[in-house]
């Protein structure tokens, strides 16, 4: 076992960790909405207004702060008026992006808002720019957030909702450089400016507008947004988004369950690379916006593998192992580290799609290793990031640190440390010195397992969080990190 030094300085406060960094993304894709979140009122699966109770409870447990919907690529072909009113008369559509299946629109605005109410999370709605109109988006905002007398509020009331909902997060388009219209950056910037002008703040509701940002490392797109989104009276947006999938080759995605050690490290190296990409986008944003008025939102991130054998290739259903858990740990640490600019992140996707935190099959539900990372890391939500450093021990022949960490403090003084070890062979002992702090009480939890370990419907608790012992020493703590593990420590002084 190797020993590594760690230093924490609670006096060196860095940035606020917005709870929205721990967000999820849900799209009308495969079984994310239908079967995942929504089963309908008549289902035998226990539900509230058609929404699965087990899934709601699981998301409440990890304090899900925000949920993005209805896409993804789906957002730019979604027409919200088709998803309101009497279900039997809702217009059907073809989901051209995801398997060409017929979408019956039984899950629409009211159902999504109800889902967010049940979980207790903020809704984040992505509006249709690619195939929608300015009027359509404008009326959607009026429908959801206006309390007065208007055609849209009459319609909402007729559909059973008297009071408006609160809507803060509004995405104006999705991947408009690709599935959202194949636009060039300057063109999109112009379209964005027009659309956002008609997304009004009705009394009592203030929108936080999100413009489509870059794919991965596309700095040209970011530069163009920053150059073109400042209007006559200031910024026309509150944030730009960014999408980053840990995927090397779109034509050869590989298996979620079967992989060599080499593929394991390759994937984690890719995940860790988001640090460099965020740093580059931040440098551009800092030049145009040194006051950091605009946020960067990583509203799609995660792993993307071949679908599980025998499943619809358009449904993007993949299993989830301890390897995915390590991707999540590394990514969340990076988002925490950049929380001076990164104000939200949404893993793709919440249920049954890509790096899902939850999988369902009929009435069965399992939480994945990735879910358990969100469980371990949830205590960072709304904390203050403080300075920490661990000796940088690299994985041999890789540009990848073995240990990744975040430390935050809450207003009540509780300190939360998360540490992960992605080495497959080395156990580390972290000798952690905490400056100016007399450690009074310590508790810890661990997630660990062989890299291929996963939860399935017959073995739902194969990989799960367990209580863990941490040693208190003079001036700090000592934490043992087994290979392929993540540990969360809570310290009260
Ligand atoms: O998450 C799956 C898809 O990936 C989304 O629909 C799209 O925005 C991205 O390309």
CB atoms within 10 A of CB 422: 32
pLDDT of residue 493: 82
Pairing of strands 441-448, 476-481: unpaired
Looking at the predicted structure, is the pLDDT value of residue 355 above 90? yes
C-alpha span between 100 and 266 (Å, rounded): 33
In angstroms, the CA 326 to CA 153 distance is 46
Ligand 1: centre distance to CA 72 (Å): 5
SS3 content of the chain, % helix, strand, coil (to 5): 30, 30, 40
Which pLDDT value is given to residue 151? 97
Tens of pLDDT, residues 254-296: 999 999 999 999 999 999 999 999 999 999 999 999 999 999 9
Token pair for residue 278? 């965020």
List of domains in the chain: 2-10+386-492 (2.60.40.1180), 18-382 (3.20.20.80)
- For 390, counting Cβ atoms within 10 Å of its Cβ (0-12 exposed, 13-18 middle, 19+ buried), the class is buried
From 68, 213, 300, the mutation candidate for ligand 1 (largest count of ligand atoms within 8 A of CB) is 300
Residue 471 annotated as catalytic: no
Nearest to 433 by CA among 378, 391, 381: 391
Q: Which of 300, 309, 361, 426 is catalytic?
A: 300
In this prediction the pTM is: 0.97
Report which protein residue has its CA nearest ligand 1's atom 6: 72
Instruction: Confirm whether 175 is a catalytic residue.
Output: yes
174 lines ligand 1 (CB under 6 A): yes
By percentage, how much of the chain surpasses pLDDT 70? Answer: 100
Measure the N-to-C terminal CA separation of the chain; round to a whole number of Å.
29
Note the pLDDT tens digit of each residue in 302-314: 999 999 999 999 9
75-107 tens-digit pLDDT: 999 999 999 999 999 999 999 999 999 999 999
Q: Which pLDDT score is estimated for 231?
A: 86
* Residues contacting 269, CB < 8 A, separation 6+: 398, 399, 400
Report pLDDT digits (tens) over 383-436.
Answer: 999 999 999 999 999 999 999 999 999 999 999 999 999 999 999 999 999 999
Q: Is residue 438 pLDDT above 90, yes or no?
A: no
């Amino acid at each position: 076992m190797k020993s590594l030094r760690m230093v924490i300085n609670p006096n060196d406060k860095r940035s606020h960790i917005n709870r929205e960094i721990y967000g999820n993304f849900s799209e009308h894709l495969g079984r994310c909405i239908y079967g995942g979140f929504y089963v309908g009122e008549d289902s035998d699966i226990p539900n509230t207004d058609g929404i699965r109770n087990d899934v709601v409870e699981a998301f409440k447990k990890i304090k899900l702060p925000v949920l993005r919907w209805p896409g993804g690529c789906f957002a730019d072909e979604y027409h919200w008026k088709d998803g309101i009113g009497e279900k039997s008369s809702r217009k059907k559509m073809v989901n051209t992006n995801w398997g060409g299946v017929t979408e019956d629109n039984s899950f629409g605005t009211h159902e999504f808002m109800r889902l967010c109410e049940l979980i207790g999370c903020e809704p984040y709605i992505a509006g249709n720019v690619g195939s929608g109109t300015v009027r359509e988006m404008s009326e959607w905002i009026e429908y959801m957030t206006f309390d007065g007398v208007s055609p849209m509020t009459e319609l909402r009331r007729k559909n059973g909702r008297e009071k408006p909902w609160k809507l803060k997060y509004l995405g104006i388009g999705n991947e408009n450089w690709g599935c959202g219209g194949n636009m060039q950056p300057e063109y999109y910037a112009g379209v964005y400016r027009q659309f956002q002008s008609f997304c009004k703040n009705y009394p009592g509701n203030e929108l936080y507008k999100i413009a489509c940002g870059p794919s991965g490392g596309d700095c040209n797109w970011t530069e163009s947004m920053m150059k073109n989104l400042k209007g006559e009276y200031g910024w026309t947006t509150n944030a730009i988004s960014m999408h980053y999938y840990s995927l090397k080759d779109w034509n050869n995605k590989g298996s979620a369950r079967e992989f060599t050690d080499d593929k394991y490290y390759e994937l984690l190296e890719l995940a860790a690379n988001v640090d460099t990409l965020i740093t580059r986008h931040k440098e551009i944003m800092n030049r145009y916006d040194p006051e950091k008025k605009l946020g960067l939102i990583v509203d799609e991130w995660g792993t993307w593998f071949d679908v599980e054998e025998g499943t619809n290739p358009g449904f993007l259903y993949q299993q989830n192992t301890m390897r995915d858990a390590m991707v999540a740990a590394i990514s969340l640490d990076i988002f925490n580290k950049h929380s001076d600019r990164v104000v939200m992140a949404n893993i793709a996707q919440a249920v049954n799609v890509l790096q899902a935190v939850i999988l369902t099959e009929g009435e069965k539900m399992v939480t994945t290793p990735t879910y358990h990372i969100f469980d371990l890391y949830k205590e960072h939500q709304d904390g203050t990031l403080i300075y920490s450093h661990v000796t940088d021990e690299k994985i041999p022949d890789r540009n990848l640190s073995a240990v990744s960490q975040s430390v935050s403090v809450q207003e009540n003084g509780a300190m939360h440390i998360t540490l992960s070890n992605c080495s497959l062979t080395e156990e580390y002992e972290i000798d952690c010195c905490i400056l100016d702090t007399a450690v009074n009480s310590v508790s810890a939890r661990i997630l660990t397992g062989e890299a291929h370990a996963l939860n399935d419907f017959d073995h739902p608790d194969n990989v799960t969080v367990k209580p863990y012992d941490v040693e208190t020493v003079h001036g700090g703590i000592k934490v043992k990190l087994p290979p392929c593990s993540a540990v969360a420590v809570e310290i009260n002084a």
